[in-house]
Amino acid sequence: MSPVVGADLASPQLLDDPYPWLAELRATGPLLRADDGTDGEGRWVATTHAAVSAVLRDRRLGRLWSDVEPAESMEPFNTLHRHQLMENEPPEHTRMRRLLAGAFGRGHVERMRPRIEELAESLLDDLPEDAPVDILASYAEPMPVFVIADLLGVPRADHVRLRDWSQAIVHMYEQGVDDDVKRAAVTASEEFAAYVRDVIERRRREPGEDLVTDLVAEVDSTGARLSDDELVATVVLLLNAGHEASVNTFGNGIHALLSRPEQLARVTSGDVPVATALEELIRFDAPLQMFERTASVDVEIAGETVRAGETVACLMGSANRDAEVFENADAFDVGRDPNPHVGFGMGLHFCLGAPLARLELQITLRRLLERYPRLALTGRAPRRPTWVLRGFESIEVALT
């Protein structure tokens, strides 16, 4: 069931530009009822920045995992998610986040800076300058997989398998997936989990200077560790979230930037710092359009009562275009500051990988524009046929 009534989320028009429709939803109300009348489950849609923020920050609304049916055949996929940080609430979430933060806190993000700089230069060196280039396939797609592979201490040569597994799993996050998508997700979950378990065992025997080694060794003040299932789920989450979000953020952002030469010039001239521009790239065309929370008790949001067990779909792209918060909200302004977008979430589930994502995207964007300040689109870029995870299939550009 689509959690958003009154729209075909697979329609080409909506995939191309959902923002007029999202504006209509905001004008209707901050929290809208979205029952379909078939399963008896109450569902709501949060449309405004205030409503989305309230939902994300309220600990009575959490990520309460329910196994995908049929549970027996979907078990490999369900197991990964049942043990993920993102799909748990306190006290499990608190313990897992503390351990993951402790491992991350050992300087891994800053350690990655020179590696990301080197990767960017290497990928740019390989681009052919005498023909149009798909900047997603040649630059944005491999970058986050290489970064995560280096962070975890796994071979860069495995990047194709890692990317394919990740994409098969995240396709399940769309609405109304079919049996083929489910089967592909199960196979990817089995193979990815086996791969990670092998990495974990190797790191136990031969520790290295990588995040997996530190995750295996991390012990909190109570003596707690991550279980093997939690270690596997954590590594898979890092790749899935890091890859999909980074590629779509870069793609959506660079397309918006190259579609507006006057804004591109503000960045390439140095008038607007890349770090400032990046926040607008994240806000303007959200790579994650929807994030759900479930009420553990009755909660009042925006004057409405969300009953225990009911779900609220937070429309992140809508929140980021709310004129009550952002002046000229539908305008792309690389110098926008402050820029309180919800791109990394809020509250208990705020993205733990946000510092790494910002570092990676800043370097990726800066290096590209330094090398090719006259970068330009060569034609219409096709959208991916997905709405929740919003991005492009390809973006063809001329480098000079």
Q: What is the DSSP string of 6-24?
A: T--TT-HHHHH--HHHHHH
Which of 66-70, 318-322, 334-338 comes out lowest in average pLDDT? 66-70
Which of 30-39, 52-61, 124-133, 134-143 comes out lowest in average pLDDT? 30-39
Q: Are 285 and 253 in contact (CB under 8 A)?
A: yes
Q: Which amino acid is at 337?
A: D
| Phi, psi angles (nearest 5°) of residue 264 | -60, -40
Query: What band does 107 get if pLDDT is binned at 50, 70 and 90?
Result: confident
Query: What band does 4 get if pLDDT is binned at 50, 70 and 90?
Result: low
Distance CA 32, CA 25 (A): 8
Q: For position 5, what pLDDT does the model report? A: 52
| SS3 at position 376 | strand
Whether pLDDT at 143 is above 60: yes
Q: For position 367, what pLDDT does the model report? A: 97
Closest to 149 measured CA to CA, from 159, 141, 139, 140 = 159
Cα four-point dihedral sign 92, 98, 103, 109 = positive
Rounded to the nearest integer, the mean pLDDT of the chain is 90
Distance CA 130, CA 52 (A): 46
Query: What band does 1 get if pLDDT is binned at 50, 70 and 90?
Result: very low
Integer-rounded Cα radius of gyration of the chain: 21
Which of 9-13, 52-56, 73-77, 343-347 comes out lowest in average pLDDT? 9-13
Distance CA 294, CA 42 (A): 10
Whether pLDDT at 33 is above 80: yes
Distance CA 191, CA 188 (A): 5
Q: Which helix (H) or strand (E) holds 293?
A: strand 290-295
CA distances from 145 to 133, 212, 247 (A): 20, 15, 10
β 31-33/311-315 pair status: unpaired
Highest mean pLDDT pick, 13-17, 209-213, 367-371: 367-371
Q: Which domains does the chain have, with CATH numbers?
A: 12-61+68-398 (1.10.630.10)
Cα four-point dihedral sign 244, 249, 252, 255 = negative
Structure tokens that stand for 29 in this block: 């109300």
* Catalytic residue annotation: 241, 244, 246, 351, 360
Q: Are 232 and 195 in contact (CB under 8 A)?
A: no
HSE-up of 226 (CA within 13 Å, CB side)? 29
Q: For position 105, what pLDDT does the model report? A: 76
What percentage of the chain exceeds 70 in pLDDT?
96
Residues 255-268 have pLDDT tens digits of: 999 999 999 999 99
Closest to 317 measured CA to CA, from 17, 1, 11 = 17
Q: For position 109, what pLDDT does the model report? A: 84
Distance CA 77, CA 186 (A): 5
Phi-psi category of residue 223: left, alpha or beta, with phi > 0 → left and psi -120 to 50 → alpha: left
Distance CA 160, CA 294 (A): 35
Residues 147-177 have pLDDT tens digits of: 988 888 888 888 888 889 988 998 888 877 8
Kindly report the pTM of this predicted structure. 0.89
